[in-house]
Amino acid sequence: MQNAIGQDLNPVQQELMACYDNLARVLADHDDELAPFEKRNALKALAALWQVANGLDMDRGQTYHLGA
């Protein structure tokens, strides 16, 4: 996996990006199945992982559609 400037991510960085992608998918596909506290805390976690992605120069776009 490469970032926006063409650098390869190491395996640990790839794991972090997988966490972000999985959490974003859960929020997009199953937010109506989450309790309010689950959704709120998942959005907080996604926002924190978005900062990680941003620091790795990964272009994950905005998360407004997910409620973040």
pLDDT at 44: 94
Number of domains comprising the chain = 1
Please report which confidence band the pLDDT of residue 39 belongs to, taking 50, 70 and 90 as the band edges.
very high
Is residue 5 situated within a structural domain? no
Is residue 4 situated within a structural domain? no
Residue 33 is part of which domain span? 11-66
Is residue 1 situated within a structural domain? no
The angle that helices 36-55 and 11-30 make with each other, rounded to 10 degrees, is 140
pLDDT at 23: 95
Which residue from 64, 66, 55 is spatially nearest to 25, judged by alpha carbons?
Answer: 66
Kindly tell me the number of DSSP H helices and DSSP E strands found in the chain.
Answer: 2, 0
Indicate the pTM of the whole model: 0.83
Which residue from 19, 9, 5, 15 is spatially nearest to 59, judged by alpha carbons?
Answer: 5
Is residue 59 situated within a structural domain? yes
pLDDT tens for 2-20 read 888 889 999 999 999 999 9
Residue type, 59: D
Instruction: Say how far apart CA 19 and CA 32 lie, in whole Å.
Output: 20
